[in-house]
A = this chain, B = another copy of it.
Amino acid sequence: MTTLPPSDKALVPFVSVDHMMRLIHHIGVEEMMRGIAEYIEADFRRWENFDKTPRVASHSPVGVIELMPTSDGELYGFKYVNGHPKNTREGLQTVTAFGLLASVETGYPVLLSEMTMLTALRTAATSAMVAKYLAPEGAHTMAMIGNGAQSEFQTLAMKAICGLKTVRLYDIDPTATAKAARNLASQGIEVVSCNSPEEAIEGAQILTTCTADKQYATILTDNMVGSGVHINAIGGDCPGKTELAAAILHRSDIFVEYPPQTRIEGEIQQLAPDHPVIEMWQVIAGKVPGRTSDRQITLFDSVGFAIEDFSALRYVRDQLMTTGFYHALDLLADPDDPRDLFGMLQRAAPVVA
């Protein structure tokens, strides 16, 4: 008997890197980040419905491998993600990721997807969705300090969602700035390459920091931050890695995703464990105010949370049937009789000629 094709139940839609890039081009990168931001906003609004667990991390001297699970009671999702800063020296990505959605009702996976690209989009979409609530009215210029893999996505998400007109780029490595400027040249936004962080923040209402070194660094010093700005701090995202002078934190109202995680991983690891923070979901749900004055410094201490990945995977899943950018993966054994796994194996035996 020859091997029968696997049944529908056994097949899991899989979005490869190639399919993800096709999907992004099909939808448009800005439109897709706008769509993902809407899903994230909707999921933040129903924050209390989610199972929230801190990441499950496996640390080694050179990096970390994490699983980030969550569930809303209907869907279960998790992301696999590594963080290996030394990888770039070997021509590898610091961060790679993939993710999965499953049905809570059956436990069967319903989507497996690359998430290196998708995480870049969801991180930028989250920043811009938050800036929509916290940035000062009419903000049009962003300083983008750190011009690595996330910088173009941050810029275009702020353009698509917050109406950003100008980005001022700075990186300690001028080739990174040149790379970002080149990539953003034809994207309908004014790009100014700067030679110092001080130059980058001139006239900017939004200050985004996104640098990569795993250390306590001071990318922004206290005297650089004037009143009324919104700080979007992306790069301080693991224990021992921060980007802002502590004095800035003391002058800011601090907004976070999930306090138990941010206190370990975010900028606020520099502060007392009971330093007041505002949960971003409460702002979005209308339970607490966001920005309350045009002199206030707002700080989004972003570390990335499992619900944002869940939202991004939900968004991708909802595009699959209309776009077809996936293929079916034979991931699950599905015998006709569930008690007869061995019979399924026997029937798949090669024919002896």
**A-side interface residues toward B, CB under 8 Å?**
3, 6, 9-10, 14, 16-18, 20-22, 24-25, 29, 51, 53, 56, 58, 60, 62-65, 67, 69, 71, 73, 76, 78, 80, 82-84, 87-88, 90-94, 96, 98, 100, 102, 104-109, 114, 116-117, 120, 147-153, 176, 179-180, 182-183, 329-335, 337-346, 348-350
Is B107 in contact with A342, judged by CB distance below 8 angstroms? no
Q: Closest approach, in angstroms, between the C-beta of A318 and any C-beta of chain B?
A: 21
Is B183 in contact with A340, judged by CB distance below 8 angstroms? yes
Closest chain B residue, CB of each to CB of A348: B21
Is B65 in contact with A337, judged by CB distance below 8 angstroms? no
Closest chain B residue, CB of each to CB of A25: B349
Is A80 in contact with B100, judged by CB distance below 8 angstroms? yes
Is B338 in contact with A149, judged by CB distance below 8 angstroms? yes
Is A88 in contact with B338, judged by CB distance below 8 angstroms? yes
Docked complex Cα distance between A88 and B334 (Å): 11
Q: Is the interface of A mostly helix, strand, loop or mixed?
A: mixed
Closest chain B residue, CB of each to CB of A92: B106
Is B331 in contact with A9, judged by CB distance below 8 angstroms? no
Closest chain B residue, CB of each to CB of A76: B65
Known pairs A65-B107, A96-B107, A107-B65; A341 contacts B117 (CB<8 A): yes
Is A102 in contact with B65, judged by CB distance below 8 angstroms? yes
Return the contact of A330 from the options B17, B93, B96 (Cβ within 8 A).
B17
Is A96 in contact with B108, judged by CB distance below 8 angstroms? yes
Known pairs A21-B3, A25-B350, A102-B65; A71 contacts B58 (CB<8 A): yes
List 26 A-B pairs, Cβ < 8 Å: A3-B21, A6-B18, A9-B92, A16-B330, A22-B348, A25-B345, A56-B69, A58-B71, A60-B71, A60-B73, A62-B105, A65-B76, A80-B102, A88-B338, A92-B106, A92-B338, A93-B338, A98-B331, A114-B330, A114-B331, A149-B339, A153-B342, A179-B337, A179-B339, A179-B340, A183-B342
Return the contact of A333 from the options B17, B87, B346 (Cβ within 8 A).
B17
Is B93 in contact with A179, judged by CB distance below 8 angstroms? no
Is A16 in contact with B331, judged by CB distance below 8 angstroms? yes
Q: Closest approach, in angstroms, between the C-beta of A112 and any C-beta of chain B?
A: 8
Docked complex Cα distance between A149 and B344 (Å): 10
Residues of B within 8 A of A104 (CB): 58, 60, 62-63, 65
Is A346 in contact with B91, judged by CB distance below 8 angstroms? no
17 other A-B residue contacts (CB within 8 Å) besides A64-B107, A82-B107: A16-B329, A16-B330, A22-B348, A56-B56, A56-B69, A58-B104, A67-B69, A80-B109, A82-B108, A84-B105, A87-B106, A93-B332, A98-B331, A114-B331, A114-B333, A117-B333, A179-B337
Is A333 in contact with B92, judged by CB distance below 8 angstroms? no
Known pairs A65-B76, A67-B69, A332-B17; A345 contacts B107 (CB<8 A): no
Among A20, A64, A98, which residue has the most Cβ atoms of chain B within 10 A?
A: A98
Is A339 in contact with B117, judged by CB distance below 8 angstroms? no
Q: Closest approach, in angstroms, between the C-beta of A10 and any C-beta of chain B?
A: 6
Residues of B within 8 A of A116 (CB): 332-333, 341
